[in-house]
Copies of this chain bind each other. A is one copy, B any other.
Amino acid sequence: MSFEGDRHHALRVLSVSKHRFGAAGEVGLFSMTASGLEPVLDPSALLLADRRAGTAGSIVVPVLEGQRPFLAEIQALVVKSVLPTPRRAAQGVASGRLALVLAVLEQRVGFALGPLDVFASVVGGIRVTEPAADLALGLALASASAGVALGEDLVALGEIGLGGELRQVVHTERRLVEATRRGFRRAIVPASAPEPPEGMTVVRVTTLAEAVAACELGLARLKSAS
């Protein structure tokens, strides 16, 4: 039995590592209460509380922990470095995927992030390592670089290849249902993604560059709905 996220965080993602093909329901989010570990009925609500509108560098991604989707907020901060080797600091994001997404942002989209300190973080002490969060991470970094906030009702979903292309991720529908349930209305997804649930509009893109362009150009439109 091990806990994901910071080990002492009261909100815990519990993975029973020794079960043998058991029910996937054994994997879920738990909170430590006065009566012990109790399942969190609405982890997305807890994780999104106190989110600030209009802050550049923030976006939400529907992640999977076991079969249960929940919404995680990814944040980025990009600042001029005073060090000979600029910092790459990831908290809750796999540093390998951060390096990959930064390389694509630089080479395929045209951002010049090399001489900058880059920070990326997931709110709530949660650790998100799915490639499915690549697009959200890329957009958070682009938003922080541009100093332009993304729409509050926007989620993003997709793996990024080194060619800059977006790749399908599993269980897109189930993830978008959870985002819709929580009030999100727009999603940036790979072109091949399935139809979204009712109440959710998807923006289909084939590359990270297209996704960045869609957010910058269509920002007023996306924001007007929020």
- On A, residues with C-beta under 8 Å from B are 1, 6-11, 17-18, 20-25, 31-37, 46, 49-52, 55-58, 63-67, 73, 75-77, 79, 82-85, 87, 89-91, 94, 96-97, 99-100, 103-104, 106-107, 114-115, 117, 119-121, 123-125, 128-132, 159, 161-163, 165-171, 174, 190-192, 206
Contacts of A119 in B (CB 8 A): 99-100, 103, 162
Q: Indicate if the CB atoms of A36 and B50 lie closer than 8 Å.
A: no
CB distance from A60 to the nearest CB of B (A): 13
Q: For residue A9, which residue of chain B has the nearest CB?
A: B130
Q: Indicate if the CB atoms of B75 and A206 lie closer than 8 Å.
A: no
Q: Indicate if the CB atoms of A55 and B165 lie closer than 8 Å.
A: yes
Q: For residue A104, which residue of chain B has the nearest CB?
A: B77
- Known contacts A32-B24, A171-B10; is A192 also within 8 Å of B50 by CB? yes
Q: Indicate if the CB atoms of B83 and A89 lie closer than 8 Å.
A: no
| A–B Cβ pairs within 8 angstroms, 11 of them | A10-B170, A24-B34, A24-B36, A25-B36, A36-B67, A46-B168, A49-B167, A58-B163, A79-B106, A100-B119, A123-B159
